[in-house]
A and B are shown apart, each in its own frame.
Chain A
Amino acid sequence: MSEGPVNSPEIRRLARVLEPGYSYASVTDKISSIVLTRPVSMGWLAGFSISFVIVMVLLGSIAWLFIKGVGIWGINIPIGWGFAIVNFVWWIGIGHAGTLISAILFLLNQQWRTSINRFAEAMTLFAVACAAVFPGIHVGRPWMAFYMFPYPSTMGIWPQFRSPLIWDVFAVSTYGTVSALFWFVGLIPDLATLRDRATNKPAQIIYGMLAMGWRGSARHWHRYQSAYLLLAGLATPLVLSVHTVVSFDFAVGIVPGWHTTIFPPYFVAGAIYSGFAMVLTIAIPLRKAYGLQDFITMRHLENMAKVMLATGLIVAYGYFMEFFLARYSGNKFDMFLADQRLHGPYSHYYFALILCNILTPQLLWIQKVRTNIAALFVMSLVINTGMWLERFVIVVISLTRDFVPGAWGRYQATFWDYSTFIGTIGLFVSLLFLFVRGLPAISIAEMRELVAHTSEEHE
């Protein structure tokens, strides 16, 4: 190794995935105490209460929707896909970072994944749960939403398997199931730790049942590790397929602005982009509130910022190619649509999107920004907003400006559109609050592995 700047204390501080001085027991103690012994703080109580009230707003909005029908939303022909689809795509996209961290970074043997994978996977599950609300409620008759699934009905009918909307049902439900399995398998050893450390009877029983008798046997670990590796290998193509299939919902249609082959890769990149932004939005307050700065280090935050920068550039390339191909194709509907994005009635959304998703993230080239926690937090919120705007631009501008001027329309979201959207954010946040207090937010078993690994390096 060369001397000088590479070995400077500053560089070494930034390169750490775990601050020194931890043993197996202290790692166990620190992470499990958040769940087992820490008293409920006022901050947690206040945060959970507020987000729970917002969940009630969601339930109220859905109840009103069921009573009155989708007419309470701003959708009307030609805009049949309003906020519901925008929000669905946004939430599903956010989930992708969790799987990327837990599966792809695992296959690539990236050590920095260890302390962020657990809550990133939880984030995936909760984001998929929020996303799954929308396809269920946006169908006109939600009590018949089960028609989306193939089941042997007495009417002898089946779903149309040539339709991307049915592919979507399979992609999202498989994604939800596999993410839950992956998360649960990862949790088993930690649930056993909680079972063995819990001091009150109900906790011992609940964690005991969930741990299923795990005791760290070498024969168990042997099969466990291969199952975990296989799941990572299966989740990797799965996560790429999910947003690809979501993009097919658009790309297979002939609507101008949707019918492009660049959609699948650019949707996947956008999904990972927004997902990493959400991981940062969660990680920064989490490490502060529970004193986890030694586990979720500067290295983690900086690496996530770098992934955001890289995927952000892919997204920028996607926007550029979309625009270029629309002009280059000579297809007048595509050219008109590109023009409408720049000069149409929704152009301010498009320019806001460029500002949030392309211009602002360029600051991440600067290391001072990547290591500035406040700047990263703000940036993550900006990118999340930008990605939501992207889906709004795709859904609304194309639908309001299709082939004949007689079919044009305008879209204005109503109070109920906003209350449902904000309600799902409340659902997401309250699930996270419950998760942090009910399950270890960082994988304890994997942190012990990291301790073993780093202590070997020092020897």
Chain B
Amino acid sequence: MSETRQTLYGVLGEFDSPKTLIAAANKVREDAFAPFPVPGLSEACGLHLGLKGWKHNLVPLLTLLGGLGGGLGGFFFQYWVNVYSYPQNIAGRPLNSWPAFIPVTFELTVLGASTVAVLGMLALNKLPQPHCPLFTVPRFKRATNDAFFVCIEAGDKKFDLAGATKFLESIGGKFVTEVRDED
């Protein structure tokens, strides 16, 4: 029994339109796959939008922190350079001539926030991920073209292969297959 547990990843069912996918995802509440962001799919998969769902999506928070880090770091770096490390009297202006530091502060705010937004999104999505058991299913290639999928993962203790297969078929899933990891 433990051997099949290791290699069984889940059960995958195919759906043919965004509408049927959302209906199915609403019943399954597991991960779904679509070739483009389908409106309403996040909620159907149990992910809340907005502030309520901040735990499902840490990207905005990380972006805010990245922006603050870039901005504060940028400003105080210039402050340190001009006041402590390399003070220069330019036309009698104060060493901390902060208005002149604003353009660079602004640019570094944007740079920090954008870099963290992208790297944070990738890290939270656990990308890059060279291998995923789903890639072994030939029909799954169409997940990046014109087909929609729902996968019930086998990670759960109560997972029951026959029951999951039957359930996916009962909600309209086509070509329901078990996904096994080749290792």
Contact residues of A with B, CB < 8 Å? Answer: 23-25, 28, 150, 156-158, 160-162, 164, 166-167, 170-171, 174, 177-178, 181-182, 184-185, 189, 192-193, 195-197, 208-209, 212-227, 230-231, 234-235, 237-238, 241, 245, 248, 445-446, 448-449, 452
Bound-state Cα–Cα, A192 to B56, Å = 24
Does B114 make an interface contact (CB < 8 A)? yes
The contact of A177 among B106, B115, B117, B145, by CB within 8 Å, is B115
- Known interface pairs A156-B86, A196-B141, A227-B120. Does A216 touch B101 (Cβ–Cβ under 8 Å)? no
Min distance, Cβ B115 to any Cβ of chain A, angstroms: 7
Bound-state Cα–Cα, A235 to B47, Å = 27
Q: Which residues of B contact A195 (CB under 8 A)?
A: 144
Does B108 make an interface contact (CB < 8 A)? yes
5 cross-chain CB contacts under 8 A: A25-B145, A162-B90, A170-B108, A217-B33, A230-B113
- Known interface pairs A177-B111, A215-B134, A217-B31. Does A234 touch B117 (Cβ–Cβ under 8 Å)? yes
Does B164 make an interface contact (CB < 8 A)? no
- Pairwise interchain contact B42-A192, C-beta atoms closer than 8 A: no
* Closest chain B residue to A193, Cβ basis: B144
Does B37 make an interface contact (CB < 8 A)? yes
Q: Which residues of A contact B57 (CB under 8 A)?
A: 222-223, 226
Interface size band for B: 35 or more
> Which among B124-132, B154-162, B167-175 touches the partner chain?
B124-132
Min distance, Cβ A37 to any Cβ of chain B, angstroms: 14
- Known interface pairs A150-B81, A218-B47. Does A196 touch B36 (Cβ–Cβ under 8 Å)? no
Bound-state Cα–Cα, A14 to B24, Å = 38
The contact of A160 among B90, B134, B143, by CB within 8 Å, is B90
Does B100 make an interface contact (CB < 8 A)? yes
Min distance, Cβ B107 to any Cβ of chain A, angstroms: 4
- Pairwise interchain contact B103-A212, C-beta atoms closer than 8 A: no
Q: Which residues of B contact A209 (CB under 8 A)?
A: 128, 130
* Shortest beta-carbon contacts, A-B, top 9: A212-B128, A213-B129, A24-B146, A227-B121, A167-B103, A162-B100, A25-B146, A448-B36, A196-B141
* Closest chain B residue to A162, Cβ basis: B100
The contact of B121 among A161, A223, A235, by CB within 8 Å, is A223
* Closest chain A residue to B37, Cβ basis: A221
Min distance, Cβ B155 to any Cβ of chain A, angstroms: 14
Contact residues of B with A, CB < 8 Å? Answer: 18, 25, 31-38, 41-42, 44-45, 47, 56-57, 59-60, 63, 67, 77-78, 81-82, 85-86, 88, 90, 93, 97, 100-101, 103-104, 106-108, 110-111, 113-115, 117-118, 120-122, 124-125, 127-132, 134-135, 140-146
* Closest chain B residue to A28, Cβ basis: B145
Bound-state Cα–Cα, A446 to B113, Å = 24
- Known interface pairs A174-B107, A181-B114, A216-B33. Does A230 touch B132 (Cβ–Cβ under 8 Å)? no
- Pairwise interchain contact A193-B35, C-beta atoms closer than 8 A: yes
- Known interface pairs A218-B47, A219-B31, A221-B34. Does A167 touch B146 (Cβ–Cβ under 8 Å)? no
- Pairwise interchain contact B47-A222, C-beta atoms closer than 8 A: yes
The contact of B108 among A174, A189, A218, by CB within 8 Å, is A174
- Known interface pairs A217-B33, A238-B110. Does A24 touch B128 (Cβ–Cβ under 8 Å)? no
Min distance, Cβ A318 to any Cβ of chain B, angstroms: 21
Q: Which residues of B contact A171 (CB under 8 A)?
A: 103, 107
Q: Which residues of B contact A197 (CB under 8 A)?
A: 141, 144-145
- Known interface pairs A167-B103, A193-B145, A223-B57. Does A218 touch B45 (Cβ–Cβ under 8 Å)? yes
- Known interface pairs A170-B108, A196-B145, A241-B107. Does A224 touch B37 (Cβ–Cβ under 8 Å)? yes
* Closest chain B residue to A208, Cβ basis: B130
* Closest chain B residue to A214, Cβ basis: B127
The contact of B59 among A181, A216, A226, A241, by CB within 8 Å, is A226
- Pairwise interchain contact B33-A161, C-beta atoms closer than 8 A: no
Q: Which residues of B contact A161 (CB under 8 A)?
A: 78, 81-82, 100-101, 104
The contact of B110 among A223, A237, A248, A446, by CB within 8 Å, is A237
Q: Which residues of B contact A185 (CB under 8 A)?
A: 118, 121
Bound-state Cα–Cα, A221 to B37, Å = 6
The contact of B104 among A156, A170, A231, by CB within 8 Å, is A170
* Closest chain A residue to B56, Cβ basis: A222
- Known interface pairs A158-B85, A193-B144. Does A234 touch B114 (Cβ–Cβ under 8 Å)? yes
- Pairwise interchain contact A192-B115, C-beta atoms closer than 8 A: no
Q: Which residues of A contact B25 (CB under 8 A)?
A: 218
- Pairwise interchain contact B47-A219, C-beta atoms closer than 8 A: yes
